Every structure is written in C-alpha cells, then in structure tokens.
A and B are shown apart, each in its own frame.
Chain A
Amino acid sequence: MDAIHRKYLRMDKLPHIWCPGCGNGIIMGSFIRAIDRLGYDQDSVAAVSGIGCSGRITGYMDFNTLHTTHGRALAFATGLKMAKPGLKVFVFMGDGDATAIGGNHLIHACRRNIDMTAIIFNNHIYGMTGGQYSPTTPRDAYATTAPYGTMDPHFDIAKLCVGAGASYVARGTSYHAKMLTDLIVEGAEHKGFSVIEIITHCPVNFGRRNELETPVDMLLWQKDHALRMAKAAKMTDDELKDRFVIGRIHRADIPEYVEEYDRLIEMVRKGDTDRG
C-alpha cells in the first residue's frame, strides 16, 4: 500500500473480494493513478457501476459512488450527468453487464455522445455467476454454459462502440497497466462519450477452463496477443488473426449531449424555436 491507495481507496473495505490474481485489482490501481494525474478533486468524481465482479469496484473507491443494477449503470449515470453536469462521471461495467443485458444502453449512450467515460472490463466471461459465456466469449472457448465450446461469434466491443457513435474509443489490457492509466486520462479529458475497453483476465472462471491455468498465464497471453496500432498497420490479415489492437482506436469531435440539451433549453426559453 502506498499513499495513493490510502488516499483513493476505502481502506476499511480492503482486502477486496476479488480472487487471487484477478485483473480487477490491477485495473483499479491504474484507475486511481489516472485520477491522481488528472488532479480531480475526489468529491467531483462520480463512479457508477453495474453488477458483476467488476461492479464491486465502486465499493472500494473513495469518490461519489453508485453501485446500480445489472446492465443499467449507463442509465443511472446519464441521469446523474444531466442533473449534475459538473461531475466527472466514470462508469464501470463487465462485458456481460455492458454488452448482454446492458447492450442497448451502451449503444444509445454511444449515439448520444454524453460526456462520461465508460470503462468496460472485458474478461470474456460472466465472472461473478460462475463462468457462463458472454457476448465476448471467443468462439470455441469453453464456459459452463458451453461445455463443447461457444458457438456464437463474439462482439468486438471497441468496434461496436465506434459504430454506435462514441466519440472516443480505446482498448487497453490489465497487463499494460501503465498504458491503461494513459488511456483513462485521455478518455476522461475527451469531451463526449469515451469508451475504454480493457482486455482483462478472470483466471477462475475463464482461464481455468481454457488452458490458461494461472493469472500469470493469462497475463502472458495478453502480452503475446496485444499489438500497438503502428505495428498492426504493417501486418497482413493473416498475421493479425487472433491478435488484438491496443491504444487509441477512434477520436472524433462531435456535439456533446448535455451542451446540446442546454442549448435547446436556451432556445426554447427565448422562444427561438423556428428551425425553418
């Protein structure tokens, strides 16, 4: 424990419940270092989460925190941001939380471009409930609900969010912990809806069933399969098979929702509603 942990974590809630070697702890470390670098006052930060192992993160951090319902974190966060636009809102979700039960909220939050940062813990499985496959479980990977391998092709979360209109999209990993802090800082500073997809590891419910027995095996897998953009650009499709790109994937400067809403209110107040 360092001064930074004592400052940003609720020390009376530690040790956390996450399993030995789970990526969630690494991500929480990268996140608090990002907040520290951004220099945000703790009372100006709101951390909102859904349900899942990843969702537990809001219980451990000393900000304004809201642990909501499964798949609905973005809906709560949207209300919060509209009511208190001054808050720096961060939304924490698992891959199941964000793209299965909460998939609809995710695409519409992207489309609206509301100013907040969504942090998606993609461990490719339902961790908390015991290893059922999720929309990001790779094809052929084993899960308790796919004893012969998953049949469904998986979502690429970053691509999905770019397609749905998010104005900042990046992908990091729990292995590249320093880079993850950089991406969270960049996403937070971006005005609009930012998505940070984090390829992370659930050794207990994904790794064990998929020949990645230990947390170390899982981190080595990330190290071997992640590619920086510049390197990926020089590779053929064949070489890119089974690999994934990390870093900033997309950034666009488009109108932000809360500002547009305020503009509309102003217009209506002035009676200036003629669009012709």
Chain B
Amino acid sequence: MTKKNFEITVDRKLCKACGICVAFCPVSVFSRDHDDKAVVTCPAKCTGCRQCELLCPDYCVRVEEIVHE
C-alpha cells in the first residue's frame, strides 16, 4: 500500500496564532511564522489524523487527501 498524501492549508487571515495546531500535530507538520501564525512546513509527514482540524478554535486548518488518478 502506498502512503496517502494530504494537502494542508491554513487560512492566514483567520489564524489567531494560538499555537494549538503546532503543538498537537503528532508529526510536526506546522511551524510558526514571524507573527506566530501557523504555517505548513512538512506536509509530507501528515498522517491525515485531523487533530489539527478538530482543535483549531478558528477553523482555519483544512486537511484534504490528494487523490491520484
């Protein structure tokens, strides 16, 4: 079985820089930029657990599976 790939996006306009997604992603997909907002730095590591989506209080993280034809 090949590893699933995910596209993760952060809506920077809505992000309040709380750090929750950064801290609770089990595989450290996110880091923080100069404003402490979340940025996606290692998307390849994503397992699709969706913890970031569930815990973002401002609903700015989206995780979508990349489907290869």
Interfacial residues, chain A to chain B (CB-CB below 8 A): 1-2, 5, 14-16, 18-26, 29-30, 175, 177-178, 214-216, 219-220
Contact = CB atoms under 8 A, between A and B. Distances in A.
Nearest to A33: B54
A26 B55 contact: yes
Contacts of A215: 18-20, 57
A20 B59 contact: no
Interface of B: 11, 14, 16-20, 23-24, 53-60, 62
A5 B20 contact: no
Contacts of A219: 20, 23-24, 55
Contacts of B59: 1-2, 5, 25, 29
A19 B19 CA distance: 13
Contacts of A21: 16, 18-20, 57
A219 B56 CA distance: 12
B64 to A, nearest CB: 9
18 contacts: A1-B11, A1-B14, A1-B59, A5-B59, A16-B58, A20-B57, A21-B18, A21-B57, A25-B56, A25-B57, A26-B55, A26-B56, A29-B56, A177-B55, A215-B19, A216-B19, A216-B24, A219-B23
A216 B57 contact: no
A102 to B, nearest CB: 25
